[in-house]
Amino acid sequence: MLSGMRKAQQGWLGKIIVTVMFGFLILSFGIWGIGDIFRITHREVVASTGSRDITTLAYRDAFQSELQRLSSQTRRNVTTAEAVAAGLDRQVLSGLVGDAALDQKASQLGLALSDATIAQAVFSDPVFKGPDGNFDPLRFNEALRQSGFTEQSFLREQRGLYLRRQLEDAIAGDPPIPATMLDALHRFTTETRSVDDIVLAPSAAGDIAPPDDATLSAFYEGRKREFASPEYRSLVLLALDPKALAQPETVPESDVRTEYEKEKTTRFTTVEKRTIERIPYKNDAEAQADAAKLAGGASFDEIAAARGVSGEDLSLGATTKEALDDPKLAEAAFSLAQGVPSGVIDTKFGPVILRVSAIEPAAVKPFEDVQALLRVEIATNRAKTNLRDLRDKIEDQRASAKPVAEIATALGLAVVKIDAVDPSGDGKDGKPVAGIPDKDQVLRAAFQAEIGGDNDAISLRDGGYLWYDVTNIERARDRPLSEVRDEVVKAWMDDQRSVALAKKAADLVKRIDGGTPMSEIAAENKVELKSVEGITRSSTPPGLSPAAVNAIFGVKSGGSGYALAPDGLGRIVFKVKSATLPAADPSRTAALTPRLKTALEDDITQAYVQKLQTDLGTTIDAAAARGAVRGAEGP
């Protein structure tokens, strides 16, 4: 509508009409007043706990953030309906209410953190560190951009997070682990089973006759949504990619050499490494005695063997001078000739005698090896500057309601035209549509837009931008039976075959439990009898499926059962031959303890938060919450 109004104002007649229309609108407000718009009631709060309210906006933003995270994690565009069906809306709201309750308790207890402490925590966060291990402002700013935070709002959010963690640690930190729980977890994680099994292929179900029309129609009506056509949209995309705009061939060699000299020592130089061996001593007298033996012709290896020093106690491995935390040891080791033992060196850990067994000299990559890489980088950085100018030109054109394709033609840029794409990124042929950068982000925005709408540019992960127009929308629809008859017939026959195969597998299990040997069952069905040893709950040996492993541990030793085969079509029929429980291993028990502590801490914290919410008084407006989630879907 806005684009239409802009177009209308470009002519003198349109300007007159728009002016008259807004004149009447202003006059009507003057006559009847505007108070009514302030008396409209809106559901602005979706939940309250104590004195804290969870606003519609805060809930919607949190839900949208989780939806984006889930889409990135699953590498597809997860719709709002799918997320709600999975309970994401309830999970997000529960988290917000729990955080609000903890925030109030922290405030009541007077917990606080200084600005310096928050800043240090952010600087120390591994998420924001670059390849050199130091805080990277660019990475920090990119994280803020992707999450929608400003620096101030992020620090405010982090302050609340750290305070809640302090409170949680005080409530549930380091709980004792019951011996019974450790024993149960030991049994669960270490028990192994051995089975004999056979695999029934789908063909073992026998011939399945096609359904008659009435049966097929009833099956289709019961599962109509499975055969529906998803919504498809036609898009025009204009992407500005710094790498695509870069012109490496235009960068002079002098500029490349200047950049090379600037980065040669930090980026293109590999520092010297030495493999260092050392014999440590308790006192200087012992070290001096061995030094005298070395001077008399004894070998370093003989001295080390006599002292019983070998392996990790002898070798410090290949290391740089800067990596050694003892200056005296570092200076001595990097001044020795290879293979020549040192004298006695008094380090901060006591006297030692050293030998350098290998030297990897420092190396500098020559200019010729890296000039192509540097040329591309310089060109890309320069393209980013040009890109900003080009972006401003495109934005000016968009402000005049010009379509993306028209703008691209005027500026000599290429567009990508997509005839049809569904929310998951597939075309009508069921294959992924190519040519969509940052596919999840772009499709999420495109499926919330309107035809001819004023769509904001999308910031791409590579530093570029993308503009898009929705040129056509083909709404999701139920396809009639006549259109999908073959698909429905196949689905019905697959269902019937699966039911028949499961019944046959269940009958075989009854016979095995009744005493029929597995070898006889295998011979009757003309399939191979296999044995699998050492199965654990966390393993999936070749030939078995996760469902089969679960079923194997769901029966007693000597019992039998069946489950889906790895192909998801056949059935595995098995008999458990043996179950073995290893003796408790103290080292393994120690390894399990941290996992149990974490689980107990989570349970204790959850119970505390629930009690806190009850004491503070918690209310949830379900209708407002549903409305907020629907608002997250966009138009």
Q: Which helix (H) or strand (E) holds 269?
A: strand 269-270
Question: Are both 60 and 154 inside the same structural domain?
Answer: yes
Strands 52-55 and 458-459 come out as unpaired
Residue 249, domain member (yes or no) = no
Question: CA 492, 494, 495 angle in degrees (round to 5)?
Answer: 65
Question: Are both 324 and 397 inside the same structural domain?
Answer: no
Question: Are both 509 and 614 inside the same structural domain?
Answer: no
Which parts of the chain have pLDDT scores under 50?
1-2, 9, 32, 34-43, 632-635
Q: What are the tokens at 632?
A: 């997250």
Residue 341, domain member (yes or no) = yes
Question: Are both 458 and 563 inside the same structural domain?
Answer: no
The count of structural domains within the chain is 5
Report pLDDT for 215. 94
Amino acid (1-letter code) at residue 503 = K
Q: Which residues contact 569 (CB under 8 A, 6 or more apart)?
A: 201, 202, 498
Phi/psi of residue 297, nearest 5 degrees: 115, -5
Place of tokens 């609108």: 25
In angstroms, the CA 22 to CA 185 distance is: 73
Q: Indicate the average pLDDT of the chain.
A: 84
Q: Which residues contact 46 (CB under 8 A, 6 or more apart)?
A: 54, 55, 56, 59, 93, 620, 621, 624, 625, 628
Question: Are both 443 and 533 inside the same structural domain?
Answer: no
Residue 164, domain member (yes or no) = yes
Q: Specify which residues 535 forms β-bridges with.
A: 193
CB 528 within 8 A of CB 519: no
Per the rule left: phi > 0, alpha: psi between -120 and 50, beta: everything else, 543 is left
- Return the number of other C-beta atoms located less than 10 Å from residue 260's C-beta: 18
In angstroms, the CA 182 to CA 591 distance is: 11
HSE of 417, CA atoms in CB hemisphere, 13 A: 10
Report pLDDT for 2. 45
Distances (CA, A) of 49 to 110, 112, 231, 599: 19, 21, 40, 26
Burial class (CB in 10 A: 0-12, 13-18, 19+), 552: buried
Residue 264, domain member (yes or no) = no
Long-range contact list for 126-133, CB < 8 A, 24+ apart?
none
Report pLDDT for 153. 75
pTM of the model: 0.51
Report pLDDT for 502. 94
Per the rule left: phi > 0, alpha: psi between -120 and 50, beta: everything else, 49 is beta
Q: What is the CA radius of gyration of the chain?
A: 35
Question: Are both 566 and 625 inside the same structural domain?
Answer: no
For the chain, percent of residues with pLDDT exceeding 70: 90
Q: Which residues contact 101 (CB under 8 A, 6 or more apart)?
A: 49, 50, 52, 609, 612, 613, 616, 618
Residue 110, domain member (yes or no) = yes
Which residue segment(s) compose the domain that 340 sits in? 269-364
In angstroms, the CA 394 to CA 236 distance is: 15
Residue 115, domain member (yes or no) = yes
Q: What share of the chain is helix, strand, coil (3-state, %, to 5)?
A: 55, 15, 30
Question: Are both 553 and 571 inside the same structural domain?
Answer: yes
Question: Are both 442 and 557 inside the same structural domain?
Answer: no
Residue 167, domain member (yes or no) = yes
Place of tokens 């007649």: 13
Question: Are both 425 and 507 inside the same structural domain?
Answer: no
Residue 334, domain member (yes or no) = yes
Q: What are the tokens at 151?
A: 């620096």
**Which CATH number characterizes residue 273's domain?**
3.10.50.40
**Which CATH number characterizes residue 626's domain?**
1.10.4030.10
Question: Are both 211 and 236 inside the same structural domain?
Answer: no
